[in-house]
């Protein structure tokens, strides 16, 4: 009684072995072919006409879809994130106490809006002192110029006396002592001019010093108003009322989002397909889709990842896109010819290559390896096929290259 279950198990095991492991041999035996015939290869395996005629009555029925190649836009797919067009931390340049009420984060500001007002302290007094010094220095100018004119007049007088004394001395009418005295007077007049010119220069230097002091005092007063450098949003509260600001202390952080950047990194194998000015699209993690243009492509690779930074500028007038969102980016690249086929038509040959099985003019199966270009909801775009092919869409897994088939055609939309 135990012999029958044992025999049944042996028969079932043998059947499963041939159906799973030796499937190709079993199918060849069922068609009356030589089980030792070569298996499917990548090359066209067109059966001779005589062999086709011999097995015409054993053709396997398949469903075929006629496909013609079309030009499609190829895209470079990246993963990146959004980044504010501009972001700046506005900091104090002087020491003072904040005397303005703070602006809260999220507030909209325009260029020149007050962010922090600082206590002026004694800066106004310093300005008045510098202005008084300037007025005093300018008042000394007429006096210095008068001294210079007086010194020039004395020099002219001394030169006249010296010339007269020299001529009289040559005729013996004036003593050498008188001549020496007039020469000394001329030298003293020259020294007086030099002294007067020095005094005028000192007065001019005092004016310039006073002007510089006024400019420095005005600059220090201007630093008391910390304003927004450009229009945007406050990413942080501005400094609190009563806070002591030191040079470098943070007043507020302003970001600009009305235009935003998508930042990704292109692998070196794809970088030559990306061009500045190319159109690009992206889908954010929240499902929002945006479009923009490539505005920057790095010329230097990241030393760690060997990738190149790419930036895409996107309009964001309604501020719906935030800084730091994850984005799947597709950058358009030069198009290629490709076929759009059902995903189910893709199969693998015995070498594990991805491809499709087609029917040639002799109604014999041929295997073509393909390259997957794009995956869409209603099919996939593949390259590597002739301009026009009849692709097996039903039954491709039950035939191999070189097998005669009986095709039934259907429309691509079915």
pLDDT digits (tens, 9 = 90+) for 33-66: 554 544 455 444 444 545 545 555 568 889 999 9
Strand-pairing partners, residue 67, are 389
pLDDT value of residue 369: 93
pLDDT value of residue 174: 60
Q: Are 356 and 26 spatial neighbours (Cβ–Cβ below 8 Å)?
A: no
Q: Which residues contact 348 (CB under 8 A, 6 or more apart)?
A: 354, 355
CATH class of the structural domain 78-87+252-335: mainly beta
Fold assignment, 37-71+337-410: 2.40.420
- Residue-wise pLDDT for 249-290, tens only, equals 999 999 998 889 999 999 988 888 898 999 999 999 888 999
pLDDT value of residue 44: 46
pLDDT value of residue 18: 59
Positions of the chain with pLDDT lower than 70, given as ranges: 1-3, 7, 11-12, 14-58, 73, 167-176, 178-179, 412-414
Q: Which residues contact 43 (CB under 8 A, 6 or more apart)?
A: none
pTM listed for this prediction: 0.53
- Residue-wise pLDDT for 90-107, tens only, equals 999 999 999 999 999 989
pLDDT value of residue 37: 45
């Amino acid at each position: 009684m135990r012999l029958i279950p044992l025999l049944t198990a042996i028969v079932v095991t043998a059947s499963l072995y041939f159906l799973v492991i030796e499937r190709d041999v079993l199918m060849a035996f069922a068609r009356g072919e030589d089980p030792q015939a070569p298996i499917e290869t990548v090359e066209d395996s067109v059966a001779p006409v005589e062999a086709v005629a011999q097995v015409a009555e054993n053709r396997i029925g398949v469903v075929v879809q006629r496909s013609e190649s079309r030009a499609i836009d190829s895209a470079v797919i990246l993963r990146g994130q959004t980044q504010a067009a501009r972001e700046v931390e506005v900091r104090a340049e002087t020491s003072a106490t904040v005397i303005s009420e703070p602006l809260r984060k999220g507030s909209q500001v325009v260029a020149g809006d007050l962010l922090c007002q600082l206590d002026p302290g004694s800066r106004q007094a310093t300005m008045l002192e510098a202005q008084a010094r300037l007025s005093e220095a300018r008042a000394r100018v007429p006096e210095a110029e008068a001294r210079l004119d007086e010194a020039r007049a004395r020099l002219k007088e001394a030169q006249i006396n010296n010339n007269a004394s020299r001529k009289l001395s040559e005729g013996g009418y004036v003593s050498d002592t008188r001549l020496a005295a007039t020469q000394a007077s001329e030298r003293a007049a020259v020294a007086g001019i030099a002294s007067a010119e020095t005094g005028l220069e000192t007065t001019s230097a005092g004016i310039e010093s006073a002007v510089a002091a006024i400019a420095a005092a005005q600059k220090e007063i201007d630093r008391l108003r910390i304003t927004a450098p450009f229009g945007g949003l406050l990413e942080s509260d501005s400094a609190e009322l009563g806070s002591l600001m030191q040079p470098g202390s943070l007043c507020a952080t302003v970001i600009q989002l009305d235009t935003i950047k998508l930042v990704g990194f292109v692998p070196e194998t794809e970088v030559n397909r990306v061009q500045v000015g190319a159109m690009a699209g992206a889908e954010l993690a929240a499902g929002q889709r945006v479009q923009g243009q490539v505005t920057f492509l790095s010329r230097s690779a990241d030393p760690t990842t060997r990738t190149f930074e790419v930036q895409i500028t996107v309009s964001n007038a309604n501020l719906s896109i935030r800084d730091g969102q994850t984005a799947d980016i597709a950058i358009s690249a030069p198009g290629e010819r490709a076929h759009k086929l059902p995903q189910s038509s893709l199969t693998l040959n015995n070498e594990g290559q991805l491809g499709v099985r087609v029917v040639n003019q002799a109604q014999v199966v041929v295997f073509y390896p393909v390259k997957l270009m794009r995956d869409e909801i209603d099919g996939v775009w593949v390259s590597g096929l002739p301009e026009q092919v009849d692709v097996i869409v039903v039954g491709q897994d039950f035939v191999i290259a070189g097998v005669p088939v009986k095709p039934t055609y259907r429309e691509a939309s079915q």
